[in-house]
Each structure stands twice: as C-alpha cells, then as structure tokens.
Amino acid sequence: MKIKKILIKDDKKMYWQEKDMHTQYGYIKEAILKKSKNGKIKTHLGKELIVMDALFLDNLEKIKRGPAIILPKDIGLILTLTSIDKNSIVLDAGTGCGVLASFLGRFCKKVYSYERNPEFFKLAKENLKNLNIKNVILKNNDVYESIDEKNIELIVLDLPEPWKALNNVKKALKSSRYLVCYLPTINQVAELLENSKDFMHERTLELIYREWQTDITKLRPKSQIIGHTGFLVFLRKI
C-alpha cells in the first residue's frame, strides 16, 4: 500500500498509510492527517512532529524486500555514467525486488526487466505497482537463456555470473552502448573481464560513501558506515 505522508521527530521517520497514526509520541487521528498541510502537527499528547508528503524514496524504503538490492549510491553512478536519458530503452536482470528497475523506470522511457525466480518476479510486480511505475515490463525469464529485445541502450546485470549472458547481451545491445555489471567480489570482476574481450572495458569502480552525524556539538563521520557494497564494471559494445 502507498505511503501517503511521512512524520518526523528528531532523526526518526514514521510512515502513514491509512487509519489513525500511532507513534511512540502519541497518536494522530486519520481525519486530522487527511486535512493537515505539510509542516508541524501535534499528537494527542501535545508532542510536535513534522508532516510531509511521502515521495518516491519514502515509498521505496517500505517496499517488500527479497534478495539484496543495489543501493542508491551505486544506482546514481549507473544513471550518470551511461549517457541514458528520458528517451532510452534499457534492460536489467535480475529484477530482484525491483529497486534498480524502478529507478531506471523513472529516468528512462522503457525498461525490460528479467527475473528467473517466479517468487521474486511476483514480488517485483507488486512493488512496482505500489511505486506507481508503469513503464517497466517484467519478464519471468532467464537472461542466460535468451534476451528477446534488440537495440537496447543500456543493460545492467546484477546477478552472480554475468559472463553467461554476454552472447545474449551482444545481440540485444546497441553498438557503443553500455553493459554495466554489479558484482560483490573482485573474483567475479576478474572472471567477467577474462570473458568480455569483445567489449571495450571503460572502467571498474567502487563507490565509498560516508555519512556524517550533524549533532552540532559532535560533528563527525557516523561510526556505523556502509562498508563494501559492490564493484561496478562498465563495458561498451564495440
């Protein structure tokens, strides 16, 4: 179900979907939340919260999870380093719970997304519906077996053995365009590079991301940080 509003107190974010909203600071009636403008609002205990419209990212935080997702920091690099735009037709595999597919859907014209596991395929379908993403065509197919589409302008593979899909990628991808592979280990990167001599290797990178705590008396990096997520390998079809 769609998140309608978010309520914030200090660093804590709470999500309102429907009915009365119960929080550790007290409750707010549904009728009040429906009528309220964005800004400050009080619970029945008189505690002040900030209320705002829920945006795409707020809804994304609450989707049903399945396999590991690509984090926004890495998705940012895929969107910015592949020259795609609002007219691009792109493809990703595996869909997983649909995080990358939903971002691609927001930035491109059309997305084909392949997922071979029927359970995750169903999960992604439900998540994309809740996120109101309508230009992602989900396919319950194995990308190692075949890719039906041609003239694709970007392919992203987030699965364990992308080298098994390279022949299909070669036929589906437009010349000069990018194949991006997201891989957790450098052993997989080595195997991919060994098997992708027909593509031009542009770059392999890892993005280190460090958030800061902003308590004015203790300005410093947060002690808990996102460590390693994955390597991104950018290849171009010759």
Ligand X SMILES: C[S@@+](CC[C@H](N)C(=O)[O-])C[C@H]1O[C@@H](n2cnc3c(N)ncnc32)[C@H](O)[C@@H]1O
Residues that bind ligand X (CB under 6 A): 67-70, 93-94, 96-100, 114-117, 120, 142-144, 158-159
Q: Which residue is nearest to ligand X (CB)?
A: 94
Indicate the residue among 58 and 142 with the shorter CB distance to ligand X.
142
Give the H/E segment covering residue 31.
Answer: helix 30-35
Q: What is the CB-side half-sphere exposure of residue 46 using CA atoms within 13 A?
A: 0
Indicate the residue among 40 and 64 with the shorter CB distance to ligand X.
64
Indicate the residue among 88 and 229 with the shorter CB distance to ligand X.
229
With helix as H, strand as E and coil as C, how does 224-235 read?
A: CCCCCCCEEEEE
Question: Least distance to ligand X from the beta carbon of 224, Å?
Answer: 22
Question: Could you tell me if residue 34 is left (phi over 0), alpha (psi between -120 and 50 degrees) or otherwise beta?
Answer: alpha
Indicate the residue among 100 and 181 with the shorter CB distance to ligand X.
100
The set of residues, in sequence order, having a beta carbon less than 8 Å from that of 161 and lying 6+ positions away, is 144, 188, 191
Question: Least distance to ligand X from the beta carbon of 133, Å?
Answer: 13
Question: Least distance to ligand X from the beta carbon of 67, Å?
Answer: 4
Indicate the residue among 93 and 189 with the shorter CB distance to ligand X.
93
Indicate the residue among 42 and 171 with the shorter CB distance to ligand X.
171
Instruction: Find, among 153, 148, 207, the residue nearest to 179 by Cα.
Output: 153
Question: Least distance to ligand X from the beta carbon of 124, Å?
Answer: 8
Question: Least distance to ligand X from the beta carbon of 113, Å?
Answer: 9
Q: Do 237 and 175 meet the contact criterion of CB atoms below 8 Å apart? A: yes
Question: Least distance to ligand X from the beta carbon of 94, Å?
Answer: 2
d(CA 173, CA 180): 12
